[in-house]
Structures are given as structure tokens and as C-alpha cells.
Amino acid sequence: MEINGIRFKKYFKEYEWSNVFAMLKNNRRNPLICKDDFKGKLVVISGATSGIGYVVAKKYASMGANLICINRNQQKSKDLQQEIEKEYKVECNYILADLSSLKEVHRVANTLLEIPIPIDVLIHNAGVFLTKRELTSDGIEKVFMVQYLSSFIINYILKDKFKKQQKAKIILVNSEGHRFAAWGLRLDDLYWSKRKYSGLKSYGSAKLAQLLAMLCFSEYFNDSGVTINAMHPGAVKTDTGHENGKLYKWYKKNILDKTLKPSSISAEAIYYLGVSKDVETLSGKFFNLTTLETPAPPALDLEVAKLLWGISIKLGKLN
């Protein structure tokens, strides 16, 4: 096994044009709709004050679910709480945390661990896209931390709680962008200190890492009643990228956003994946909205996934 995780020859042989054409076709599809209610269930969502997370929170609340939202901004969290509780008559609590901080991610995970009732659905939605490399206060590349390591830590700390529940769904808001890491993960350079930083490649690598970890979690949860799946939320309008400079913000507002669909499409897909009985036994899968899809070959490499698992435990201080 190559120490840097790049396996060009292996993956080159595994790429199939049919999967690429399927992805392009799936991008034009609408999500399946689930009309079942979710009354009295508990749903945890990260990044719920804007974009996809906001409409997902409202969708689940409209169907009777109680919410715990993991957000950075206190005022926006209070506003969301008041809006949802007033409109839908459900409970909407929140945990304030910066998911780029190891300490705060551990605090969030342990807070969720102590909840005396089951978590029915956990939705990892928080994300970040950066055009320039940035390190967190812990010295971790920020996109890798927020897009991947934070969800890994939370899932890892909660994994036995979920198993004891004997039923739960974990949904990773992933991306077709994992295909930007076409030849695999640089396990020896996860923080982009040895290579020229690229926003798209960094984002793709973090999303690829999330898919690889999903394989190991799915294996751990096998036959437990707990499932973990990832989904591409469609080409929809979000607030991702607001941390970047004026040029990117102008491009996003005046060009990119005008080509995108409303985020309600993503909300319908995430509700379907969390509630529909049609997918309740599926685990370790990648969906384009609600359509099953084959991810890029590097996302199916269990050998690399297990290496990443060990690295992530160390990086996430989970020993």
C-alpha cells in the first residue's frame, strides 16, 4: 500500500464511463418524496441557521420532529428556535459550537451522548469551502476539520449509544465534489502542507474522507439497526463560501447562484433518507439526492478507509 494513499493505476482501471453518465443523468432528477410524519422523534442537525440546514430543520419540524441544532451563532440560533417552536409547535433546542475546534466538537459529542432519549436521525450538514488554505487553532486544515473530522469525531463518540438504541439513521451531506480527489487521498498530507492548495481539491478530499469513514462505520453498525449513508444535496443555493474574498463572493452571487436550484430540493431528499421505510435497511451507500449512485473508485477502497480510520482517531484525539 502506497504510504501517500494515491493509487492511480488501481483507480484508473476501476473508472467506468457508465457511472459518469449515470451521475450526469441523476443530476437532472428530482428527489423522491416521503409523506410519512415524524412526530415525537428527535433529529440532530449541524449548521441549521442557513442554507440547506435551515430548510431541513423546517422540513423535519413541519412533520412533527423535535430538533437539536448545532450552530455557531447564538442570535441566529435563538431566532431559529423561536420561529420553529412558534410555527410548528415542536421543541427546537440548540448547542452552540465552532466545529473547527477539537475541544468544541468533543463537547458537542459528549453533550449528545448524555441525552437520555434516543437520537433518531443525525444529519451532518455543516460545511465550509475555502479558496485559500487556513489552519484551525489546533493546527488542522480547516476544510478537512469541518467537512470531515468533526463528523467523524461525533459519530465515533456516539457509535455505542446508537448501537444500544438499535435504531438510528446517520446522514452525511456529502457531494459529487468527492470526485475532485480522483486518485485518492494523500494520507501523508491531509493538511495540504506539501502541495499547492486548491479549494476544489481540498473540498473533494474532505468529502472523499467522509465517504471512506462511512464504510468503516457501516461495517461497525452491521445488523444493529443503525444505518449511515451519504448524499449529494443537488446543485442548490447555499451560504457555503461566505468566508472567502470579494471576487469569490461576487462570482457566487452574480453567476453561480443564478444557475442553482432552491435548497428545498435538498430538504425533501434528506427527509426521505431519514424517514422513508424504503431505505431503512440500506447503509454505507451514496445517493444523488434520493437516487442510489456509485461513487468514484477511491471512495470504495476499504483498505485506505481503515488506514484513514486509524489516522482520524489520532487526529481527533479519540484514544
Q: What is the CATH number of the domain that holds 170?
A: 3.40.50.720
Q: What pLDDT is stored for residue 260 in this prediction?
A: 57
Q: What pLDDT is stored for residue 65 in this prediction?
A: 98
Rounded to the nearest 5°, which phi and psi values hold at 236? Answer: -120, 160
Q: Which residue matches cell numbers 455543516?
A: 126
What string of DSSP letters covers 257-281? GGGPBPTHHHHHHHHHHHH-GGGTT
**Which amino acid is residue 142, in one-letter code?**
K
In a domain, 131, yes or no: yes
Q: What pLDDT is stored for residue 263 in this prediction?
A: 78
Nine cell digits for residue 252: 457566487
In a domain, 2, yes or no: no
- Taking 70 as the pLDDT cut, the residues of the chain under it are 1-3, 235-261
In a domain, 3, yes or no: no
Nearest to 243 by CA among 116, 142, 99: 142
In a domain, 261, yes or no: yes
Distance CA(232)–CA(253), nearest Å, equals 22
CA gyration radius, the chain: 18
In a domain, 44, yes or no: yes
Q: What pLDDT is stored for residue 169 in this prediction?
A: 98
In a domain, 191, yes or no: yes
192-209: b (≥16 Cβ within 10 Å) or e: beeeebebebbbbbbbbb
Q: What pLDDT is stored for residue 245 in this prediction?
A: 53
In a domain, 47, yes or no: yes
Distance CA(265)–CA(176), nearest Å, equals 16
In a domain, 306, yes or no: yes
Q: How many domains does the chain have?
A: 1
Q: What pLDDT is stored for residue 2 in this prediction?
A: 53
Q: Containing domain of residue 141, as a range? A: 8-315
pTM: 0.92
The separation between CA 305 and the C-alpha centre of its own chain, rounded to angstroms, equals 17
Q: Name every residue whose Cβ is closer than 8 Å to that of residue 117 and which is 6 or more positions away in sequence.
A: 42
